[in-house]
Structure 1
Amino acid sequence: MKRFGSASMRWVYLAEDESGLIAGVPELLQLGYQKLAEAHPIPLHSHDQSYEFVYVVNGNITWEIGGEYYPVNAGQWFYTRPGELHRARFDHLEPSRIWWFVLKAPSKGSAWLRLDQDDVAFVADRLQQLPRIFPARSSVSEQFTRLKTTIESDMLNKQLFARHQVLDILLGMLQQPAAKPIDPDLKQSIASQVKEFERNPEARYSIEKMAHSVGVSVSHFYKLFYELYGQAPVAYMERIRMEHACTLLKTDRLITDIAMELGFKTSQHFTTVFKKLIGSSPSEWRKHVRDRT
């Protein structure tokens, strides 16, 4: 397992590097887990003849495909189709915790995951119909952990267990769980709070006042907000603030002035937060954007 940073962790299985580790499951090309305490580089890439699925355990990450942005919250899946170019927004993945796997695309006439031909055709068709972002079942982390344990073990018939565990995760995606009901009025009230902040990202909002205006306790407000947006309110607001900072950095304004406008007492504190979420310092990001235009 490769580790980096004081609170970050990364584990990756690559079939091409393992020389038959689970030779009975050639469809599983990659499996990985990342806990990111700061932004991590994910540049433009694709997977030939295979799907990539990313499950967000916590945090909030944004992917880019063909100039379109896809924000993904905790408890959601994101996936890309074979050969589809994609990357993390700004080429960096936000602080988060994720599982992901890359699976060879099922093809007609193949013995894909040793399913019969009708089942292979069914899976192939359903994969094409999946929305870009969709909810995950609560058991996904446990399923991934079990698969990771199988891959790392010396157990007999590990290929059998691994194959069925991969299939278990896949079928869980294809059979969508029922959405958790949240009172529509509460949902709308919280959405109004979020829109107000997005209009005024330089403001500093009190969580207590936000909860009071919605009519719930602070703890319940945190719970509802996390279910809706995949992050704690403070973390979400900081991310929106840094997105606004990116817009301001495209102008000729001094970085110190931008930091002050966004409510930071020092430009050093602003730089620390910006680099953690975006992956580079404000000056480096500005230079990168200007070099690309």
Structure 2
Amino acid sequence: MKDFGNQERRVFNLKDYGIKRGLAFGHYRYKQVKPGLENHQHIGALEICYCMKGQQHYKMGEQFYELNGNDIFVVPPNAMHSTGEFPEDKGELFWIQLLLDSSEGKLCNMPNNQSDFLLAALLDKSQHVFKGSFQLKFILEKLMLQLENFDSLLSKIMVDQLIVQLLLDTVILCNKPEQSPPLVKLNELDRFIHKHLHRMIYVDEMANLAGMSVGYFKFWFKSKTGMPPREYVNRLKIEQAKLDLLTSKRVTEVAFGLGFGSSQYFATTFKKFTGTTPKSYRSLQRE
């Protein structure tokens, strides 16, 4: 069976595996940012994106959508979309593209009324970011493993079952009411971080603010945001740095003004999250 990509990014053509209403199933796990996605569309197919770790952005028209770890986003058929001015971020993301037209055949051998029901429910939630479940990662990883080792009728049955389970669990999740209590703590932490962006922010003081031990706080924070506290803080600092670099401040001033111990560490962190150096970013913005 055919797939293309490398260890960091893999894409499987689902039609090669007998999935009649399937287009593609993909996965990436990036250790650093990559160039952004150009504007593109999926004719007649919706795309479900599962952000497992890190962050990803999508732009449709003038609307931006931000995905963090454990977020799901559904792109409607034929919608032009890209990552806008953002790169493909470091982290982990799965996606699957499925055709809506039942004349293309039965999706995973389900009766058309059942597959149409699931896809319509997902289409109804398109252009909304909603919380997933890390349990989905087990399904997604099993699906990728089956596609990588596809060699028999048993593999085909397993792939069909996993896609159906993935769709069913996603529909259930997208209809769950949003949970607000964790957001209260996260909003309080956000305010604290923004207030102290000019200095080093320590994980233990964030844990104290949340009323948790440092060990539990790290676990809790990552489960809610998809990234460790230190990475989250650095991301916010880099967003502020983008604004500061548009002023007359020198790069060193921007670095020290955001609590970085050296301009070299600042440049390394900036490139990790944007794919470019502070000086290059400033030059591009001024062109």
Normalising to structure 2: TM-score of the pair?
A: 0.86
Quote the offset at 1:3 in angstroms. Answer: 4.3
Q: Which amino acid aligns with 1:28?
A: G
**Aligned mates of 2:84, 2:264 — CA distance in 1:** 24
Confirm or deny: 8 A CA contact 2:45 2:78 kept in the other structure: yes
The change in CA–CA distance for 1:169 and 1:235 in structure 2 (over 3 A counts) is: same
Tell me the secondary structure at the aligned position of residue 120 of structure 2.
helix
The percentage of counterpart residues that share the same residue type is 21
Counterpart of 2:278 (choices 268, 282, 286) is: 282
Tell me the matched-pair count: 279
Please report the RMSD computed on the Cα atoms of aligned residues, expressed in angstroms.
2.6
Tell me the secondary structure at the aligned position of residue 88 of structure 1.
coil
Tell me the secondary structure at the aligned position of residue 117 of structure 2.
helix
Gaps of 5+ in 2: none
Aligned twin of 1:10: 9
**Aligned mates of 1:148, 1:207 — CA distance in 2:** 35
Confirm or deny: 8 A CA contact 1:11 1:32 kept in the other structure: yes
Quote the offset at 1:191 in angstroms. Answer: 2.1
Q: Hey, which bits of structure 1, 4+ residues long, moved more than 6 A?
A: 179-182
Aligned twin of 2:171: 174
**Aligned mates of 1:254, 1:26 — CA distance in 2:** 56
The change in CA–CA distance for 1:199 and 1:52 in structure 2 (over 3 A counts) is: farther
**Aligned mates of 1:269, 1:91 — CA distance in 2:** 21
**Aligned mates of 2:86, 2:211 — CA distance in 1:** 39
The change in CA–CA distance for 1:163 and 1:247 in structure 2 (over 3 A counts) is: same
Normalising to structure 1: TM-score of the pair?
A: 0.84
Aligned twin of 1:116: 111
Counterpart of 2:37 (choices 36, 43, 48) is: 43
Confirm or deny: 8 A CA contact 2:57 2:65 kept in the other structure: yes
**Aligned mates of 2:244, 2:253 — CA distance in 1:** 10
Q: How does 1:188-203 map to 2 (within 5 A)?
A: 188-203=184-199
**Aligned mates of 1:227, 1:252 — CA distance in 2:** 39
Quote the offset at 1:165 in angstroms. Answer: 2.0
Quote the offset at 1:250 in angstroms. Answer: 2.3
Quote the offset at 1:290 in angstroms. Answer: 3.1
The change in CA–CA distance for 1:154 and 1:257 in structure 2 (over 3 A counts) is: closer
Aligned twin of 2:220: 224
The change in CA–CA distance for 1:65 and 1:97 in structure 2 (over 3 A counts) is: same
Q: Which amino acid aligns with 1:56?
A: C
**Aligned mates of 2:134, 2:74 — CA distance in 1:** 18
Q: Are residues 1:248 and 2:247 paired?
A: no
Q: How does 1:123-142 map to 2 (within 5 A)?
A: 123-130=118-125, 132-142=128-138
Confirm or deny: 8 A CA contact 1:197 1:203 kept in the other structure: no
Counterpart of 2:162 (choices 165, 182, 191) is: 165
